[in-house]
Amino acid sequence: MENKLIVSYAPHLRTERSTKALMLDVIIALVPALLVGLFAFGIRAFLHVLICVGVSVWAEHVWCLFIKKESTVKDLSAVVTGLLIAFNMPAAAPLWMGAVGAVFAMIIVKGFFGGIGHNFVNPALAARAFMLACWPVQMTAWTNPVFGKFFSQGTVSGATPLASPDLYALSDVFLGNIPGSIGEISALALIIGFAYLLIRKVITWHIPVIYVGVFYILSMLAGQDATYQIFSGGLMLGAIFMATDYTTSPMTTAGHIVYAVLLGVLTMVIRTFGTLPEGVSYSILIMNIVTPLIDKFVKNKRYGGGK
């Protein structure tokens, strides 16, 4: 018996909450918004999700095989990335586009930089920015929701709520009865997901609440309809599910606060002064790049004094 005893260093207890468990929780938190997206955009949304998730998982697996590392698809992070890419697609965009985005995310952004934990920007967001740069027309061809009519293609709407605030009622914007990308239309569904993430302690409240809060205040100061602004466009999706990505956000709570405040300011600046109405993706990408600097300078005050 002697030799069979495992001798390892303390601690001899580990949390059940492995990366896989956490990612599963993120997936569950994405379900409400996913359902709204499927309900609103029907079969096309379904196909986008299938393709983005499938290709992401496949690309990660192939990459791991290629560099002869143990495949990390089991940790479910590729599924999350795939879902987020799909969430950022307009339903009318060609289906192959999502596949290209997924390959870009998993291989160029994640794989090239060393796999999970080593990417310096959020893969899903980088894929979105990439697609937006390559195919600006298709990536902004948002359709009106066709609730319930599963096989309807929907009509392309020229105006997004963000670009033309007068077209849509606040309640529609909040619930998701607006044109937009598959996963971003319903603020309510995203907020339900946020509550779930908080309850399951996957993330803390700081980044989403401060990001949206700062943006709200600035928007109000700028004389805009702040409530309308925070519920439209990709802000909720970005603040809750993208800006909180573990790898690309700072590590300390103080760091989270600095990061979130800067995000709010940047988004406001881009939405107001930029040529694009949507500033969330670019703000988060920029802050992803700034994150290592925040981690360097914003540290916890360690026990017993000193920095």
Partner 1 sequence: MYLKTFKGGIHPGDRKELTNTVPISDCPPPKEVIIPLRQHIGAPCEPCVNVGDRVLMGQKIGEATSFVSAPVHASVSGTVTKIENYPHPGGGEALSVFIENDEKDELFPEIKEWDLDLSKDSIKAFVEKQDAKEIVEKVKNAGITGMGGAAFPTHVKLSPPADVKIHTIIINGAECEPYLTTDHREMLENTKKIILGALLVAKSVSAEKIVIAIENNKKDAISLLEQETKEFDNIEIFTMLTKYPQGSEKQLINAVTKSEVPSGALPSAVGVVVNNIDTCAAISEAVVTNRPLYERVVTVSGDAVNNPKNLRVRVGVKFSELLEIAGGFKEEPKKIVMGGPMMGIAQNNIEVPVIKGTSGILAFSAPETYGKDEGACIKCGKCVEVCPMRLMPNFLSTASVAKDVEKIKAHNILDCMECGCCSFICPQRRFIVQHIKAGKALLKQKG
Instruction: Name which of 4 and 68 has its Cβ closer to partner 1.
Output: 4
Find the binding residues for partner 1 in span 160-189 (CB under 8 A).
none
Closer Cβ to partner 1, 223 or 304, answer by number: 304
Task: From 225, 277, 283, select the one nearest 259 (Cα to Cα).
Answer: 283
Question: Which residues, numbered 46-85, are part of the site for partner 1 (CB under 8 A)?
Answer: 72, 75
* Minimum distance of partner 1 from residue 249's CB (angstroms): 8
**6 near partner 1, judged by CB under 8 A:** yes
Which part of the chain contacts partner 1 (CB under 8 A), choosing from 42-50, 81-89, 172-180, 240-248? Answer: 240-248
Q: Which residues contact 203 (CB under 8 A, 6 or more apart)?
A: 197, 244
Neighbours of 253 (CB within 10 A): 12
Backbone angles phi, psi at 304, to 5 degrees: 85, 25
In this chain, which of 61, 247, 257, 298 binds partner 1, going by CB under 8 A? 247
The binding track of 192-221 with respect to partner 1, each residue x by CB under 8 A or -, is ------------x-----------------
User: Is residue 143 classed as helix, strand or coil in its secondary structure?
Assistant: strand
- Read off the tokens for 115: 């796999």
- Please, how many CA atoms are within 13 Å of residue 209, restricted to the half-sphere of its CB? 9
| Minimum distance of partner 1 from residue 4's CB (angstroms) | 7
Q: How far is CA 164 from CA 106, 158, 183, in A?
A: 35, 10, 20
Closer CB to partner 1, 21 or 141, in the complex:
21
Residue from 18, 164, 171, 272 binding partner 1 (CB under 8 A): 18
Shortest distance in whole angstroms from residue 94 CB to partner 1: 33
- Three-class SS state of 90: strand
| Segments of the chain assigned E as strands | none
Output the smallest distance, CB 77 to partner 1, in A: 8
In angstroms, give the least distance from the CB of 106 to partner 1: 15
Between helix 123-134 and helix 280-297 the angle, nearest 10°, is 140
Dihedral (Cα; 282, 191, 37, 75), 10-degree rounding: 70
Query: Interface with partner 1 by CB under 8 A: which range of 99-107, 125-133, 138-146, 296-304?
Result: 296-304
| DSSP for residue 181 | B
Site map 249..278 versus partner 1, x via CB under 8 A: xxxxx-x-----------------------
- Closer of 160 and 248 to partner 1 (Cβ): 248
CB atoms within 10 A of CB 302: 8
DSSP state of 209: H
Q: Tell me whether residue 36 or residue 203 sits nearer to partner 1 (CB atom).
A: 203
Q: Euclidean distance between the first and final Cα of the chain, in Å?
A: 49
Q: Binding marks (x or -) toward partner 1, 79..118, rule CB under 8 A? A: -----------------------------------xxxxx
Contacting residues toward partner 1, per CB under 8 A = 1-15, 17-19, 21-22, 72, 75, 114-118, 204, 246-253, 255, 299-306
